[in-house]
Structure 1
Amino acid sequence: MCDELSNREAEAYFLQRGLSRRDFGKFGVGAALATIVPMPAFAQDLVETNVEVETPDGKSNCYFVHPAKGKHPAVILWPDIFGTRPAYRAMGKRLAAAGYAVLVVNPYYRTMKEQLVPDDVAVIGSELRKSIWPDARKQAGTLSTETCLTDGRAFIAYLDKQAPVDTAKKVGTMGYCMTGSYTFRLAADMPERIGAGASFHGGRLVTDKEDSPHRLVPEIKAGFLVAIAENDDEKKPEAKVELRKAFDNAGLEAEIEVYEDTLHGWCPSDSMAHNREQAERAWSRLLALFERNLV
């Protein structure tokens, strides 16, 4: 999970690659994201909109992106502890280009409409990370199991009213770091609507609590992808075993894998732990999951 230890490990990994923050950022954030988050060759024309979604607790400012023509399966994309920012909007746009209507959400809308990470930041380096970490932890502390569910229901209700969304098809949900568990919770809460869930370096998927995400699997009807960072697995190797057991007992499709040579946070392109090769492989497995299950 995301903590001070994983932060230090990510910085050491970043520096070992021989890239300085100046080298990474000298071409600008747009160029950096364009090379790290490539668009598919068959990319469709897209419509991008900043929207506000009504929830029981107010309005969540989100990014909605979808193909310009037709109706498509909906996907909720939950960001990691550092919130919405260009790296996640780029992922949303890339997914939309593959044929999905994607809502990149701001889970912190109750207390913060703005971003923790500025738009011109290509990499969340150690200095920025240190400065925003207290606020990130504080914002994360405003969320709960209940807010995950009330927000998730509201996001799906919003998506189901949008013309580009094919409501005859199941919804996908994907989360990173702390929001990896959100995919389990929402899939269990709305089993008839959620067709696929994906957790990338998700934290606290297996705990001793009664509402631990892995204990919710019997209530889920969705296919799942659980992509685990190698250093997270080293800290809690039993988690993958318990997850495998839970999905097998429920008779559900689930791809659970520890990605070799990865650190917590390896998927987002602006992470110091970013591993492009493994992030691309995880992305390909996500697309395969959605293609099979969002029908």
Structure 2
Amino acid sequence: MTSVQGTAVDITTADGVADAYLAHPADGLPHPAVLLYQDAFGLRPHLKSMADRLAGAGYTVLVPNVFYRNGRTPVFDLPEFIDPSERPQIWEQVAPVMQSLTPDLAMRDAGTYLQWLADSPLTADGPVALAGYCMGARLALFTAGTYPDRVAAAAGFHGGRLATDAPDSPHLVAKDVTAELYFGHADQDGSMPPEQQQLLEETLTAAGVRHRCEVYPGAHHGYTQADTAAYDKEADERHWAALLDLLSRTFPAS
């Protein structure tokens, strides 16, 4: 595993300043870029550790606070171990903020994050990869369809509402996607039921998108997040294998 350097960075957007975490190999050389999209609980130590692990595998990883309009990190007052069943009031903090980040706002920001990565001396030339968790899986799919020339691969894990009948459902961008996609659905996830899984699969196939959608049996929404009650070690390890496989195929020289 490569030694890693992690730093806090600020990114000026059209609507303010997004604080972010940047992790990269400590050699100071340019490496393929990964834009990592947070789950609903936001940028916190566990997500930084995930970015560090990817950086140790040879990537330059940016994790923006996508909720920056609501304040700098930490946006929410969270316990070290997040169990919404014991503290349901967490959702009273999180839900309104999550809902305020519309696809239009998120994609305006995404263009800024992608440009920031393109301008960084720590990133290799060429398109980036995306990794998204929970709501971040939605953002990853939207970004792949909105900026197809900038995204070579995108992976989403325990994403919810990826293929609904809403006019702004993420699956509707499939026609514009040129990246290879991977989705790891949680088996026990009411926000991504079998009918949505099927619609996403059919839509990606019809659009000719290179993709693989897999169901992780027994896993719950949030299975990759070790600081939450939803964590599933076996599913998490499967997620790492799938993500690193996608990245190694996308950036074979890294």
**TM-score with structure 1 setting the length:** 0.80
Q: Matched residue of 1:214: which SS?
A: helix
Q: Report the equivalent of 2:202.
A: 245
Q: Is this contact kept in 1: 2:220–2:230, CA < 8 A?
A: yes
CA distance in 2, matches of 1:126, 1:183: 25
Unaligned runs of 5+ in 1: 1-42
Instruction: Map 1:16-35; keep pairs closer than 5 Å.
Output: none
Question: Are the structure 2 counterparts of residues 48 and 247 from structure 1 closer, same or farther at C-alpha, using a change threshold of 3 Å?
Answer: same
CA distance in 1, matches of 2:67, 2:192: 28
Instruction: Map 1:255-294; keep pairs closer than 5 Å.
Output: 255-294=212-251
Question: Are the structure 2 counterparts of residues 188 and 138 from structure 1 closer, same or farther at C-alpha, using a change threshold of 3 Å?
Answer: same
Q: Is this contact kept in 2: 1:233–1:239, CA < 8 A?
A: no
CA distance in 1, matches of 2:105, 2:130: 16
What is the CA RMSD across the aligned residues, in angstroms? 1.7
Q: Report the equivalent of 2:33.
A: 74
Alignment partner of 1:139 is 2:79 = no
C-alpha offsets along residues 156-210 of structure 1, whole Å, 9 cap, x if unaligned? Answer: 1111111110023x21112111221111111111101101111111111011123
Alignment partner of 1:103 is 2:62 = yes
Q: Is this contact kept in 1: 2:84–2:90, CA < 8 A?
A: no
Higher normalized helix content (fraction of residues): 1
Alignment partner of 1:90 is 2:49 = yes
Instruction: Map 1:130-279; keep pairs closer than 5 Å.
Output: 130-168=88-126, 170-232=127-189, 236-279=193-236
Q: Matched residue of 2:143: which SS?
A: helix
Q: Report the equivalent of 1:9.
A: none
Kindly report structure 1 stretches of 4+ aligned residues shifted beyond 4 Å: none
CA distance in 1, matches of 2:249, 2:98: 32
Question: Are the structure 2 counterparts of residues 126 and 190 from structure 1 closer, same or farther at C-alpha, using a change threshold of 3 Å?
Answer: closer
Pairwise CA distance, 1:234: 9.0
**TM-score with structure 2 setting the length:** 0.93
Higher relative contact order (CA 8 A, sep 6+): 1
Question: Are the structure 2 counterparts of residues 249 and 294 from structure 1 closer, same or farther at C-alpha, using a change threshold of 3 Å?
Answer: farther
- Structure 1 counterpart of 2:116, which letter? Y
Q: What is the aligned-residue identity percentage? A: 34
Unaligned runs of 5+ in 2: none
